[in-house]
Amino acid sequence: MHILVCGGTGCSASGSREVIAQLNKELEAHNLTDFARVVVTGCFGFCERGPIVKIIPDNTFYTKVKPEDAKEIVEEHIIKGRKVQRLLYVAPDTNKSVSDSKHMEFYKKQVRIALRNCGFIDPENIDESIARDGYAALGKCLFEMTPQQVIEEIKKSGLRGRGGGGFPTGLKWEIASKSRVGEKKYVVCNADEGDPGAFMDRSLLEGDPHSILEAMAICGYCIGSDHGLIYIRAEYPLAIHRLQVAIKQAEEVGLLGQDILGSGFNFTIELRYGAGAFVCGEETALIHSMEGHRGEPTFKPPFPAQSGYLKQPTNVNNVETFANIPVIINKGADWFASIGSEKSKGTKVFALAGKINNVGLIEVPMGITLREIIYEIGGGIKGGKKFKAVQTGGPSGGCLTEKHLDTPVDYDTLIAAGSMMGSGGMIVMDEDDCMVSIAKFYLGFTVEESCGKCTPCRVGNKRLLEILTKITEGKGTMQDLDDLRNLATVIKDTALCGLGQTSPNPVLSTMSNFWDEYVEHVTEKKCRAGQCKALKQYIIDPALCKGCTACARACPVSAISGTVKNPHVIDQSKCIKCGTCYEKCKFGAISIK
Amino acid sequence: MDKIRNLAELRKLKSNMVDKLQLRENSDSSEAIIQIKVGMATSGIASGAKETMSHLIEELDRRKIKALVLQVGDMGYSHAEPTIEVTIPGKDPVVFGKVDTAKADEIIEKYIVNGELVEGILPANYRSI
């Protein structure tokens, strides 16, 4: 039997390493090491309930496993074949425990192509990767296909860049292959994942590093490059470690390095660490950062394919894009193109976060509806609250609402709906979220991360943030709303790079979908979600106030006046909305409006 | 680790490694392949179900038969332990009693490979709801 334990960042943080140690100890104590073994895998995607332990062959799916549960799992399940009921996943809709992963709603609608090996193999063992067709696609390309044939296959598959832009990958490779033939070229993997709430690339690199290395080598073969670089954030230590192990193993067996498989093709890969600047996800900024310069974007053209890293032709692809390549080569472009929607082929990995029951990593075919993602895979909104919006595309994307729930998710429909695919962050919001504050949050992020090179992004976004702050503080006017919209449109038209051009999207999309909420903040000075602190009013109900003076004594700014045994009053001009009086009142006389 | 010098070596390594992951591959496609459930409650284990199960796994592996061997709880046939239930896709499950290693070989050879019935079938005495 195999006991698969998630060793991704999410589960490691909730203690999977101790679980692994304890399971091994128990197996040894019962002399079962020949019969069962513990395999440390990548992410299962069900991060909400980690650490995850999956027993093979019966697919039993244990959630929130603690080190002290190891004894029971070994003694009951491994020895006696009895499932440990209390550790099984309980479906939120039926309240019944689910015996194995095949019956979990979370997995039923998923199609795992990029994540095919995540949660299945031991990422630090190249043999397990090879058993799952690892490097088979590279072998096929090197011996049975010409670079042009490989490019044609990728083009035919309809694969588009998964980093956000959605540019056709095959076309990108073709341009790079035709650019300055015979000169030194580079393959770059963009693993600078920076959207708030996104962890797709990290999980992929942690769970299946060999697929990325293989795909980079295939790309090198196609465009005529012998060297690859992975630009990864230094704050992903586990992903870096797994990549280092994988590169070392691949070099040892000769699947990377000189004369791969005796084909005469050479390819080496090195890692470059980023310091975690959002703008470095933009390809020109990424290249500058790799060269040791400031991470600032430059104007395109020239595109990296013409003049990229060290002024040489460079092909930059995102981690998830690479993860799809070996499967396309092995299974064929037609197979890949049969999945997904008309203009967006294949699947997309999303990181589900926010007010949703099943926070985690999912991979779904393009064209699935938001409703299926949120209510079936995601298990619905937390605490039975009402769905309000879902933010896709991170700080460059927008909010989609109830009316978009049945929109099929692909590159083009999301743009038509005023958002974008982005790299795959999906943050769900409920009725307690204030949309003006959400826009303010994303703008705060953009202002913080703006590299400062072009004025529209550096100054314009700052002004946008100021106006938004003014509105959430109840000082906004209708003129501000006009200014907000005009300024946002100007930034969109004039900023230098893709990040600047998309940075006002959260403002524009919340304005078009939640206009009445903006107006309410301005004209009625009201925040219906109760999130804008400055718009809250603490009011004492004179009928309930006993005049005990507890609130007046506690108020840090002496905003409460009144005499003993007589109703008190809060001076709204002095009040700083700290909520102390509300907590102190024993009679429930203070309410928030 | 040895160098992989050519494509043939890579493919050979793959086919060797596949066996190691067979258990996981099979559980991923459990509906489409032969399933064998081995009753592994106290009475089953006492009568040697563990040996039967290990033997089944090894023998099926040796013959390269794709099958999923699962351990389950007591099937209720304490008089005929170890008991196993064999489900061939598209057919009704059949329960065999008193399956020692020799009997296991016979079941694989006759029932699973040739589709003949063998002695020792236990009548179904339950209905699943």
Domains and CATH numbers, chain B: 30-122 (3.40.30.10)
Integer angstrom CA distances of residue A577 from A393, A451, A540, A563 = 34, 35, 13, 22
- Closest Cα of chain B to A155: distance in Å? 25
Among residues A180, A174, A244, A258, the alpha carbon closest in space to that of A212 is found at A244
Mean pLDDT, all residues of chain A? 92
| Residue B30 predicted with pLDDT over 80 | no
A308-345 pLDDT tens trace: 999 999 999 999 999 999 999 999 999 999 999 999 99
- Residues of B with a Cβ under 8 Å from any A Cβ are 1-7, 9-11, 13-14, 17-18, 20-21, 23-24, 26-28, 30, 40-42, 45, 54, 68-73
Containing B38, the helix (H) or strand (E) segment is: strand B34-39
Give the CATH architecture of domain A435-524: Up-down Bundle (1.20)
**Which of A82, A221, A263 to mutate against chain B (most B CBs within 10 Å)?**
A82
Identify all chain A residues contacting B42, using CB atoms and an 8 Å cutoff. 80
For residue B124, pLDDT over 70 is answered with no
- Cβ of A359: how many Cβ atoms within 10 Å? 21
DSSP per residue, A177-220: HHTTTTS--EEEEEE---STT--HHHHHHHH-HHHHHHHHHHHH
Residue that has been written with the tokens 């070229």 in this structure: A185
Output the pLDDT for position A107. 86
pLDDT (0 to 100) of residue B125: 60
Parts of chain A belonging to CATH 1.20.1440.230? 435-524
By residue count, chain B amounts to: 129
CB A187 within 8 A of CB A228: yes
Q: Is the peptide bond before B82 cis (omega within 30 degrees of 0)?
A: yes
Please state, in angstroms and as integers, the Cα–Cα distance from residue A471 to each residue in A69, A451, A592, following that order.
51, 26, 19
pLDDT band of residue A348 (cuts 50, 70, 90) is very high
CB A355 within 8 A of CB A390: no
Q: Under a CB-based contact definition with an 8 Å cutoff, are residues A42 and A203 in contact? A: yes
Nearest to A416 by CA among A406, A407, A425: A407
> Using CA of residue A500, residue A501, residue A502, residue A507, what is the dihedral sign?
positive
Rounded Cα distance, A560 and A551, in Å: 7
Separation CA A534–CA B129 (nearest Å): 59
Mean pLDDT for B103-113 is 90
Q: Considering only CB atoms, which chain A residues are within 8 Å of B10?
A: 130, 135-136, 139, 255, 261
> A146: burial class by Cβ within 10 Å (0-12, 13-18, 19+)?
exposed
Instruction: Look up the CATH number of domain A347-430.
Output: 3.10.20.600
Flag if B24 and A2 touch (Cβ within 8 Å). Answer: yes
**Cβ neighbours of residue B57 closer than 8 Å, sequence gap 6 or more:** B69
Long-range contact set of residues A442-449: C-beta below 8 Å, sequence gap at least 24: A442/A196, A442/A391, A442/A394, A442/A395, A442/A506, A443/A468, A443/A503, A443/A506, A443/A507, A445/A196, A445/A278, A445/A395, A446/A395, A446/A499, A446/A503, A449/A194, A449/A277, A449/A278, A449/A279, A449/A395, A449/A499
**In sequence order, what DSSP letters do the residues of A541-565 get, joined into one string?**
-TTT-----HHHHH-TT--EE--TT
All CATH 3.40.30.10 domain ranges of chain A, comma separated, are: 2-108
Closest-CA distance of chain B to residue A425, Å: 28
Read off the pLDDT of each residue in A385-390 and give the average, rounded to a whole number. 93
Which residues in chain B are contacts of A262 at CB distance < 8 A? 5-7
The pLDDT of residue A351 is above 70: yes
Q: A56-99, pLDDT tens digit by residue? A: 888 889 999 999 999 999 988 888 778 898 999 888 777 788 87
Tell me whether strands A590-592 and B84-87 are parallel, antiparallel or unpaired. unpaired
The sign of the dihedral angle between the CA atoms of A485, A488, A490, A492 is negative
Any residues with CB less than 8 A from the CB of A206 and at least 6 apart, and which? A7, A8, A9, A42, A43, A118, A123, A238, A239, A242
Q: If pLDDT is split at 50, 70 and 90, which confidence band does A455 have?
A: very high
Q: Best residue in B17, B30, B58 to probe A by mutation, most A CBs within 10 Å? A: B17
Rounded CA-CA distance A214/A326 in Å is 7
Note the pLDDT tens digit of each residue in A396-442: 888 999 999 999 999 999 988 888 888 888 999 999 899 999 999 99
Residues of A within an 8 Å Cβ radius of B: 1-2, 4, 35, 56-59, 80-82, 102, 120-121, 126-128, 130-133, 135-136, 139, 142-143, 249, 252-255, 261-262
Locate the chain A residue with the closest alpha carbon to B27.
A57
pLDDT at B126: 60
Question: What's the CA gap between A97 and A502, in Å, rounded?
Answer: 44
Count chain A–chain B contacts defined by CB atoms under 8 A.
84
Separation of CA A509 from chain center: 20
Question: What architecture (CATH level 2) is domain A2-108?
Answer: 3-Layer(aba) Sandwich (3.40)
For the stretch A525-572, pLDDT in tens is 888 888 888 888 888 999 999 999 999 999 999 999 988 999 999 998
Residues whose CB is less than 8 angstroms from the CB of residue B122 and which lie 6 or more positions away in sequence, other chains included: B77, B80, B83, B95, B96, B97
What pLDDT score was predicted for residue B76? 78
Sign of CA dihedral A468, A470, A471, A473: positive
Overall pTM surpassing 0.90 (yes/no): no
Alpha-helix residue ranges (DSSP H) falling in A316-434? 319-331, 333-337, 370-371, 411-416
Please state whether A80 falls in left (phi above 0), alpha (psi between -120 and 50) or beta: alpha
CATH fold, domain A126-336, is Rossmann fold (3.40.50)
Kindly list the distances between the CA atom of residue A516 and the CA atoms of A390, A403, A484, A592, B59, in Å, as whole numbers in the listed order: 18, 16, 15, 22, 70
pLDDT tens-digit map of A142-198? 999 999 999 999 999 999 999 878 899 999 999 999 999 999 999 999 999 988 888
The SS3 of residue A592 is strand
Where in chain A are all domains bearing CATH 3.40.50.11540? 126-336
Q: Where are the beta strands (DSSP E) in A310-422?
A: 314-318, 347-354, 360-365, 387-392, 398-401
Does the pLDDT value for residue B119 go beyond 90? no
Is pLDDT at A22 greater than 80 in this prediction?
Answer: yes
CATH code for the structural domain at A537-592 = 3.30.70.20
Distance CA A344, CA A308 (A): 28
> What mean pLDDT do residues A264-285 have?
93
Residues of chain A contacting residue B28, judged by C-beta atoms under 8 Å apart: 120
* Closest C-alpha among A224, A149, A218 to residue A181: A224
- Given the structure tokens 């709204």, which residue do they identify? A572
